[in-house]
């Protein structure tokens, strides 16, 4: 697959990888990937475990040597350079602080390794401690800190030496939910403040969506889609992305007929109107994804929008899952299948066993040729 | 209820600890206590007499011969321990890092020499290093001079001790490395440390406790060695341990031998204490928490 990336000025890209491939035995972990990341960009590598995102990050870091391809940082080919000559920072999921060194010693470690003068070390330490709110913790040992504090120290260590870019490998995965939410905002703030690119590996789509500018969705060592996060969310370009990003209902079936670019999908005894994927013809098997929050609930019998660009189906509420800021309605439709509808309104207009009508614009969803098998 | 439960746990703990504690008391503490007592007694014609005196210690500390033996054993043990350290580290590191699923097998292979007795093993070394041993026979067959330094010398004793106690050193370091997170080395590299620097900054301090235990495990028996110096050391290689052994055998001067034992015990304890001083628990990465 050849990717057309957004045009970016060559001199502007901090990281450029070209045709990078890495195999482990018979498994191709990273498959001929190319990518450019610009200054000031927060870039997320999103994918399920085993999709190759961590391997790609490790290749950029120099911890793994690619079998083919090149890595450039600020225009210099660093493919053959060891990690300690690449001027990058990295933050790991399990923090990996040096347990025998105090917080302050952990943080200035990169400066010591680069033989930075003592006075300068102190100055930088003061700066980064203030940035990350670590005042007063300098003399503690890592095991005396909370998880969140440890991750801050890891970030401080990654940032102190002014790296060209910062790599983050699921840095928040080991933190509890509340703290993670807080840190997501914080990490984004540091990135904006420092103006260097962050490359953030995660399997958590919410994290990727919250923090990043652009997202690369990875699957089996390849990029499925590389785009602005809004684009990835609203216009997934593949079945995989549509299924992986956001919460969608999926409907799979044969295209019965096609008229004016609108197809009719036979699904559980119903006819669902769908946009026709390129290259699809009548009779072919397709899969349609519609995000839960894109469907609207209306009372049975209320006036529904007319027209060929809407789907309107009848159903019965089976259960309501109230989540505070939103509510999920599980609605039984057709011959007993269930659809999930997410409603930001918290007035709980419908209760279990209420007859309802589901309405959505066909363009709100996306449709792809189903893979055989 | 809690009180009863605690009592039960207490009892259970005692039941578990008791057999071991009893064994140690009977077979370790009692003998040590008895040699301390005997060292203040007197032997005459293979009989112990309980008249308390300090003569044994006076002789030991004033007669230069014994101090020379003690010094000789001490220096040999120090050199042996550090030789084992230098050779043991790479072996342990290799097994822990690259041994994969064969790690256990490799560690077991280290113990292979223990499958036979110490005398047999030391005699085998004699067969290799002695004047008519494998090395020198080959050299002489080709008209070359034999390597005298390995024939009945302190060097030969040293080689023998290194061979005997290397497995202890490797095992101690290996066990320490098993709990070492090698990912920390990647972190060090990312943060600018070259491999050698990363070793000094991270690997060494985090495994110093295991290494120190290895040093002690090699030092203590090397210091007390008696058989190895007798077989490999030659006539001038007598060690403190071998002279000590004689007191309980040929000469039958048990009280004097006990005093030598007490001195040996004291020196070893002192060395262990000094090594322990070098371990800073905070700096060892030991947190007291489950890993």
Touching B: A residues 77-106, CB under 8 Å: 82-84, 88-90, 92, 94, 96, 98-100
Residue A218 pLDDT: 97
Q: Does B65 fall in a domain?
A: yes
C-beta separation of B84 from B96 below 8 A: no
- C-alpha dihedral (A242, A243, A247, A248), degrees to nearest 10: 80
Those residues of chain B whose CB sits closer than 8 Å to some CB in chain A are: 181, 183-184, 186-194, 197, 201-202, 205-206, 282-285, 287, 289
How far apart, in whole angstroms, are the C-alpha atoms of residue A237 and residue A262?
18
Average pLDDT by stretches of 10, chain A with 373 residues: 44 88 95 95 95 96 96 95 94 94 97 96 96 94 94 96 95 90 93 94 94 96 96 94 93 89 89 89 91 89 76 92 88 90 80 90 90 58
Q: Show residues of chain B in contact with A143, CB under 8 Å.
A: 287, 289
Q: Does B220 fall in a domain?
A: yes
Residue A326 pLDDT: 85
Q: Does B139 fall in a domain?
A: yes
Residue A6 pLDDT: 44
> Whole-model pTM above 0.95?
no
Longest dimension (CA), chain B: 86
Residue A7 pLDDT: 42
**What tokens were used for B22?**
């009893």
What ipTM goes with this model? 0.85
Task: Among A61, A63, A110, select the one facing B192 at the smallest CB separation.
Answer: A110
C-beta separation of A78 from A60 below 8 A: no
Q: Does B204 fall in a domain?
A: yes
Residue B291 pLDDT: 43
Q: Find tokens 């001067």 and name the residue.
A: B253
- pLDDT 10s digits, B155-195: 999 999 999 999 999 999 999 999 999 999 999 999 999 99
Query: Taking CB atoms and an 8 Å limit, are A113 and B191 in contact across chains?
Result: yes
Measured in angstroms, the CA of A138 and the nearest CA of chain B are apart by: 15
Q: At B262, phi and psi to the nearest 5? A: -65, -40
How far apart, in whole angstroms, are the C-alpha atoms of residue A27 and residue A31?
10
C-beta separation of B114 from B167 below 8 A: yes
Low-confidence ranges of chain B (pLDDT < 70): 1-6, 287-291
C-beta separation of A164 from A72 below 8 A: no
C-beta separation of A197 from A39 below 8 A: yes
Q: How many domains does chain B fold into?
A: 1
CATH no. for residue B236? Answer: 1.10.3720.10
Q: Does A147 touch chain B (CB under 8 A)?
A: no
Strand order in the sheet with A198-202: A88-91, A165-169, A198-202, A42-46, A214-219, A222-228
* Of A328, A222, A337, the residue nearest A269 (C-alpha): A337
Measured in angstroms, the CA of A28 and the nearest CA of chain B are apart by: 23
Residue B125 pLDDT: 87
Which residues constitute the domain of residue B65? Answer: 57-277
**How deeply is A84 buried, as exposed, middle or buried, from its count of CB atoms within 10 A (0-12, 13-18, 19+)?**
buried
Q: Show residues of chain A in contact with B185, CB under 8 Å.
A: none
Measured in angstroms, the CA of B188 and the nearest CA of chain A are apart by: 8
């Amino acid at each position: 697959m050849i990717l057309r990336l957004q045009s970016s000025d060559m001199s502007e890209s901090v990281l450029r990888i070209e045709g990078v491939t890495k195999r482990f035995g018979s498994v191709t972990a990273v498959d001929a990937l190319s990518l450019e990341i610009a200054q000031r960009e927060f870039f997320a590598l999103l994918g399920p475990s085993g999709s190759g995102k961590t391997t790609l990050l490790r290749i950029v870091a120099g911890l793994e040597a690619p079998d083919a391809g090149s890595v450039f940082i600020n225009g210099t080919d660093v493919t053959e350079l060891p990690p300690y000559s690449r001027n990058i920072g990295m933050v790991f999921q399990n923090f990996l602080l040096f347990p025998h060194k105090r917080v302050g010693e952990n943080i200035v470690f990169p400066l010591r390794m680069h033989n930075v003068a003592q006075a300068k070390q102190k100055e930088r330490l003061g700066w980064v401690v203030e940035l990350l709110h670590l005042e007063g913790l300098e003399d503690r040992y890592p095991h005396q800190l909370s998880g969140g504090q440890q991750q801050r120290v890891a970030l401080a260590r990654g940032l102190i030496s002014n790296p060209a870019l910062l790599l983050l490998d699921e840095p928040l995965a080991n933190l509890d939910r509340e703290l993670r939410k807080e840190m997501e905002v914080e990490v984004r703030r540091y990135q904006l403040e420092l103006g260097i690119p962050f490359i953030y590996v995660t399997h958590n789509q919410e994290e990727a969506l919250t923090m990043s500018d652009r997202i690369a969705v990875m699957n089996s060592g390849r990029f499925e889609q590389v785009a602005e996060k809004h684009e990835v969310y609203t216009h997934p370009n593949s079945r995989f992305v549509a299924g992986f990003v956001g919460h969608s209902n999926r409907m799979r079936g044969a295209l019965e007929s096609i008229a004016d670019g609108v197809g009719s999908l036979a699904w559980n005894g119903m006819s669902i109107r769908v946009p026709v994927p390129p290259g699809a013809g009548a009779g072919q098997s397709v899969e349609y994804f519609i995000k839960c929050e894109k469907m609207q609930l209306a009372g049975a019998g209320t006036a529904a929008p007319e027209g060929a660009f809407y789907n309107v189906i009848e159903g019965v509420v089976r259960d309501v899952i109230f989540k505070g800021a939103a509510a999920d309605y599980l609605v039984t439709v057709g011959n007993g299948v269930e659809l999930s509808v997410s409603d930001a309104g918290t007035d709980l207009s419908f209760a279990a066993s209420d007859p309802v009508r589901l309405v959505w614009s066909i363009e709100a969803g996306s449709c792809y040729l189903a893979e055989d098998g | 209820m809690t009180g009863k439960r605690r009592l039960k746990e207490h009892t259970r703990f005692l039941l578990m600890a008791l057999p071991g504690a009893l064994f140690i008391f009977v077979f370790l503490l009692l003998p040590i206590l008895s040699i301390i007592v005997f060292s203040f007694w007197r032997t005459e014609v293979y009989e112990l007499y309980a008249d308390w005196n300090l003569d044994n210690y006076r002789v030991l500390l004033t007669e230069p011969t014994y101090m020379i033996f003690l010094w000789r054993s001490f220096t040999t043990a120090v050199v042996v321990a550090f030789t084992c350290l230098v050779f043991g580290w790479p072996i342990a590191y290799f097994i822990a890092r690259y041994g994969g699923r064969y790690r256990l097998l490799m560690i077991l292979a280290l113990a292979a020499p223990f499958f036979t007795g110490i005398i047999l093993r030391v005699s085998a070394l004699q067969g290799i290093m002695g004047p008519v041993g494998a090395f020198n026979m080959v050299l002489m067959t080709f008209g070359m001079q034999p390597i005298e330094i390995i024939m009945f010398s302190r060097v030969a004793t040293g080689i023998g001790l290194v061979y005997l106690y290397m497995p202890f050193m490797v095992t101690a370091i290996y066990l320490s490395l098993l709990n070492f997170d090698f990912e920390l080395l990647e972190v060090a590299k990312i943060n600018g440390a070259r491999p050698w620097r990363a070793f000094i900054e991270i690997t060494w301090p985090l495994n110093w406790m295991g290494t120190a235990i290895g040093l002690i495990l090699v030092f203590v028996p090397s210091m007390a060695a008696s058989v190895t110096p007798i077989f490999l050391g030659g006539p001038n290689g007598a060690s403190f341990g071998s002279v000590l052994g004689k007191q309980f055998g040929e000469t039958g001067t048990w009280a004097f031998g006990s005093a030598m034992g007490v001195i040996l015990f004291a020196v070893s304890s002192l060395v262990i204490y000094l090594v322990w001083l070098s371990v800073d628990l905070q700096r060892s990465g030991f947190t007291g928490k489950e890993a």
